[in-house]
Chains A and B, each alone.
Chain A
């Protein structure tokens, strides 16, 4: 397959670069469709968790295993990274590639810190015998939070490839479209985390 490296011609110069070519802007709409289907994956995992969160059997209760300091740190990291990726898109709109890449690197570092904190928590749990075999609550918990963590990890790998491409090709209708969809993905993961923080961790503290 022959992949053109030359950027496509700008069709609508009055629009932001990522929307300026019809073929590329259609892919942004397509990415929204992916996000909707991904939201349904998380909805089903949330409903499984909602149903099984009281099924503890002989395992620990939510309150016994959740540590609120690291969870709050993870929330702060993800909220801030959502802001920095928003700033990256803002810089991209102003045609400032250097600033854009800096904001994106900051985002990635916070994403990496988030994943590290989460893995640290999970490893700690497992070393105390708290695994997803123990109870339905723990199965639901690890699958829901783990799926989110896997999404964040994938996002980091994706954005690293985008950074490489951006440094080689600069801001074109194609690279800006890719970065724009990445920002949608990242904000989406932040929204999912807000619900995990609320419905898994804070709810665990209430009862």
Chain B
């Protein structure tokens, strides 16, 4: 059903399949299952990281990496479920600049932290 829709647009706009990861895909559920599941998962992830920190379940640096990982999973959930990342008339071009943005953002923050580690006395 969904693939018919997208192929129709594709033929009309581009006439060729192109890259798979920017193929448009629409959310057309009869019941808002993705929204409910996404909401529950986001609550679970938030409380998981809060409880991990509350209990000091891990050494400090491992704990930071774990909760940042949980935050990244939650961001991916929001993008995929709530933001309908791949919805578009033609190819979902927004995916490419978005991932380029992730690369720049990650580089900016990661490199800033990395360079400050060389300061005397540590970061």
Contacts and interface: CB of A to CB of B under 8 A. Distances in A.
Interface string B70-104: 11001100110111100111000110011011101
B43 A79 contact: yes
Q: Is the interface of B mostly helix, strand, loop or mixed?
A: helix
A25 interface: yes
B83 A187 contact: yes
A61 to B, nearest CB: 14
Interface stretch (A83-91, A113-121, A145-153, A164-172): A83-91
Contacts of A86: 32, 35, 38-39, 81-82
Interface in B8-37: 8-9, 12, 26-28, 32, 35-36
A93 B30 CA distance: 10
Given A33-B97, A79-B43, A206-B53, A14 B8 contact: yes
Q: Which size bracket describes the interface of B in this complex?
A: 35 or more
A187 B60 contact: no
Given A19-B88, A191-B79, 13 more contacts: A14-B8, A37-B101, A39-B105, A40-B101, A43-B104, A50-B116, A79-B42, A79-B46, A83-B82, A89-B84, A194-B74, A195-B71, A198-B49
Contact of B83 (A51, A76, A184): A184
Contacts of B108: 40, 43-44, 47
A47 B112 contact: yes
Contacts of A93: 27-28
Nearest to B43: A79
Interface string A63-93: 0000000001001100110110111011001
B80 to A, nearest CB: 11
A75 B70 CA distance: 15
B94 A198 contact: no
Nearest to B99: A36
Nearest to A190: B78
A158 interface: no
A198 B113 contact: no
B49 A83 contact: no
A188 B98 CA distance: 12
Interface string B55-80: 01000100110011011001100110
Given A46-B109, A191-B75, A207-B60, A82 B82 contact: yes
A102 to B, nearest CB: 14
